[in-house]
Chains A and B, each alone.
Chain A
Amino acid sequence: DAGVTQSPTHLIKTRGQQVTLRCSPKSGHDTVSWYQQALGQGPQFIFQYYEEEERQRGNFPDRFSGHQFPNYSSELNVNALLLGDSALYLCASSLTQITAGTGVYNEQFFGPGTRLTVL
């Protein structure tokens, strides 16, 4: 099992440009979440996709958008890049199961991330 894969590993863009990051979830997983991790900070939730729809969204502007494909892979798009968008972008995959209150934790498995530098 390849686990969660992300591409590219890292890239450099200039302010105002647009970027697309890609994620392939772990085999058997149907849910993809995206997180932004600034240097020296913990990951911050951007949004989550399930059944090709955005199910939850964190406190990020509309410049951040995403997509999930029928094979469960996902893309994160960021428009009009700002210097402050420089960060490690992490994709996490999981399996949605109705286990609320049972104590079972459906682990979110993280990929290695894409390091984005905006100049």
Chain B
Amino acid sequence: QKEVEQDPGPLSVPEGAIVSLNCTYSNSAFQYFMWYRQYSRKGPELLMYTYSSGNKEDGRFTAQVDKSSKYISLFIRDSQPSDSATYLCAMSLFSGGYNKLIFGAGTRLAVHP
């Protein structure tokens, strides 16, 4: 069993839709939960991170962590064609400067006009 599971999609939605992306994990020691976005032929870029449990909102993006269920989510409101990318969840035991990131497989999202 992989430490982090993520449905690879692809996910295709119309512009303006609410998108829900999810990951499950097995290591209860994870403390930091990140969402990275990766455009084609580019490296991943950090969208949001959450420390421990709870919700975090940044503009159209909301990240949720449920440590009791070992489940994390990213919601994108009012999705735009520019949101079309691969979304990677990642986790680490503590601060990213000094620890490896464990990634999910990534979910490919296409937002069509």
B13 located at the interface, meaning its Cβ lies under 8 Å from any Cβ of chain A in the complex: no
Q: Are A95 and B97 in contact (CB under 8 A)?
A: yes
Task: Please pick, from B4, B8, B41, B94, the residue contacting A100 in the complex, using a CB distance under 8 A.
Answer: B94
| Interchain CA distance A111-B100 in the complex, whole Å | 16
B85 located at the interface, meaning its Cβ lies under 8 Å from any Cβ of chain A in the complex: no
Which A positions have Cβ atoms within 8 angstroms of B? 4, 31, 33, 35, 40-45, 48, 50, 55-56, 58, 90, 92, 94-113
Interface residues on B, range: 20 to 34
Q: Are A108 and B96 in contact (CB under 8 A)?
A: yes
Q: Which residues of B contact A44 (CB under 8 A)?
A: 103
Q: Are B43 and A97 in contact (CB under 8 A)?
A: no
B99 located at the interface, meaning its Cβ lies under 8 Å from any Cβ of chain A in the complex: yes
Q: Which residues of A contact B43 (CB under 8 A)?
A: 4, 90, 92, 110-113
CB nearest to B36 among chain A residues? A110
Given contacts A106-B97, A113-B42, A113-B43, 15 further A-B contacts (CB under 8 A): A40-B105, A45-B100, A45-B102, A48-B100, A50-B98, A55-B98, A58-B100, A90-B44, A101-B31, A102-B95, A104-B95, A105-B34, A105-B95, A107-B49, A108-B46
| Interchain CA distance A95-B96 in the complex, whole Å | 9
| Interchain CA distance A50-B43 in the complex, whole Å | 21
17 A-B pairs in the complex with CB atoms less than 8 angstroms apart: A41-B105, A42-B103, A42-B104, A45-B102, A90-B43, A96-B97, A96-B98, A100-B98, A102-B95, A103-B51, A103-B52, A105-B32, A105-B34, A106-B98, A107-B96, A108-B97, A112-B42
Q: Which residues of A contact B95 (CB under 8 A)?
A: 97, 99-100, 102, 104-106
CB nearest to B49 among chain A residues? A105
Q: Are A42 and B98 in contact (CB under 8 A)?
A: no
Q: Which residues of B contact A94 (CB under 8 A)?
A: 96-98
| Interchain CA distance A89-B11 in the complex, whole Å | 25
Q: Which residues of A contact B106 (CB under 8 A)?
A: 40-42
B101 located at the interface, meaning its Cβ lies under 8 Å from any Cβ of chain A in the complex: yes
Q: Which residues of A contact B46 (CB under 8 A)?
A: 107-109
CB nearest to A9 among chain B residues? B41
Interface-centre pick from A4, A42, A106 (highest chain B CB count, 10 A):
A42
